[in-house]
Each structure stands twice: as structure tokens, then as C-alpha cells.
Amino acid sequence: MKTCPIVDLGIIGYAEAYALQKRIVAARKADSIEDVFLFCEHPHVITQGRNGKREHLLVSEHVLRQKGVEFHESSRGGDITYHGPGQIVGYPILNLGAIRRDVVWYVRMLEEAMIRTTKEFQIAAKRVAGKTGIWVDAGNTEEKLGAIGVHISRWVTSHGFAYNVSTDLRFFDLIVPCGIAGSKATSLEKLLGRRIEESEVTRHLAKHLGALFGLDWKETAKKELFEKLEHAEQSVEVSA
């Protein structure tokens, strides 16, 4: 089983995390750094994927500023979504070509990791035909617990998934989540009716992701990641 660094970035702005992903992706394409898996949490932000429609943002930028919500366009797939406190965001930067060259399979595996994690808390999550992400039954409809939006270039992955643990769901009212009219979001704490430590959820996610992708995680500090990345970038510059 291949060893892969897993790094908890903590709370980090979306733009900063996006820039970091781009650097790691470039190094990974140059084969000057190994696969890396990033976990983080973002301050309030709405992002629009490359297939997104601006009309799915239901409020003006002035209202967003009043509520302290940033807005960013993104290269990921999918439409529009919200990230914020209480939500676990995972960014796998993997050479999928060395694992399995199958984009659909990759997305299904991200869903499967979230489904298995949810089952750890005795809740049945599922896929819904034609809708990416994971869902739970809510009466006569389904509510979304985890979202996915990925980007793959030369088989190197970026962006990833977002799993709602204790997210303030009112922020989803600012958008048409993932461009699906009438779609509602939910969170693990809402479903359980009790508080959950994010670290516990992250631990389960990491376990299932590792099993599904055949990766043995090596917990790595941010400082070590940045040092590796800087060394990788210098190596590329020298060889160029």
C-alpha cells in the first residue's frame, strides 16, 4: 500500500487553499512531489464551478458582503455551492493515472467514503441517480449531506468534497445548491440531534478514503508540506 501525506490545514481562506492546490498540482504533474491529501475548513464562501450559472446565486454581492460571505469562481466541476464553518472539506491531489484512469469511478469513491463515514454514525446515506454527492431521506424527498466538485488535468486531481458536520444550513438559502431547484442541505448534527467533534468525522473519512484508494496515510504537518513543496518547485526550476 502506497504511503500518502495527509495534511490538516485547519481554517484557511478559499483563495489561499485554491492557490496552494495549484502549486501542488503543478509539482505533482512534474512528478516532483508525491500524492497529497488536504483537509481543511473554510470561512463563509460561495463558489461557482465551471459549469455554474450566476442566476443560482440568489442574493446580490452587497448582501454577501453584509453577511461576511466571499464569492469565488472555481475550476472545479459542478454548479454553485457554499463552504463554511462546521464543514469538512477534502482536497485529494492524486495521480489518478497510477491508481485508476476512470473519472466516474473516482467520483463514486469520494461518495462511497462519505456514505461509509455516515454509516459509522448509524445513518444511511445514499446516491441519487443524476445527482452527484450523497443524500439522506427526508420524508418524501432527499436532503444533501455531502457535495463533490472535482477537476482533473493530465490525470492529477484537485478540488474534492465537502461534508456537512455542524454547518449553519441557513447559508445554503443564499443559493440554489448545486443548481438543483428545491434542493435542501442537511448536516450530521441535525440528523443526529447532538454535537459531533469534527475530528471524529475526519478520522472516519480518512480511514475509508485510504481503504478505497489503497493509500496508507502519513500525518504530515503544514510546515513539512510547505518545505516539500518549495523543494519540489526549486527542483523543477533547476531542471528547466
**Could you tell me the CA-to-CA distances from 151 to 8, 25, 191, 196 in Å, in that order?**
21, 11, 30, 30
CA distances from 212 to 1, 15, 100, 167 (A): 11, 29, 11, 26
The DSSP secondary-structure symbol of 240 reads -
The pLDDT assigned to 234 comes to 87
pLDDT value for 178: 65
Question: Would you call 16 helix, strand, or coil by DSSP?
Answer: helix
- Which span out of 68-82, 136-150, 197-211 was modeled with the highest average pLDDT? 197-211
pLDDT in tens, 20-41: 999 999 999 999 999 999 999 9
Contact 168, 120 (CB under 8 A): no
The domains of the chain are located at 2-239
For residue 3, the SS3 value is strand
Tens digits of residue pLDDT in 180-200: 667 799 999 999 999 999 999
- In percent, how much of the chain has pLDDT > 70? 96
Active-site residues, by number, are 178
Buried b (16+ CB within 10 A) or exposed e, 39-75: bbbbebbbbbbeebeeebbeeeeeebeeeebbbeebe
End-to-end Cα, the chain, rounded Å: 32
The answer for residues whose C-beta is within 8 angstroms of residue 115's C-beta and 6 or more apart is 125, 126, 127, 134
Question: Per-residue confidence at 50, pLDDT binned at 50, 70, 90?
Answer: confident
Please state, for a pLDDT cut of 90, what percent of the chain lies above it: 80
Q: Domain 2-239 is in which class?
A: alpha beta
Cell digits of residue 199: 475530528
pTM of the model as a whole: 0.94
d(CA 72, CA 238): 34
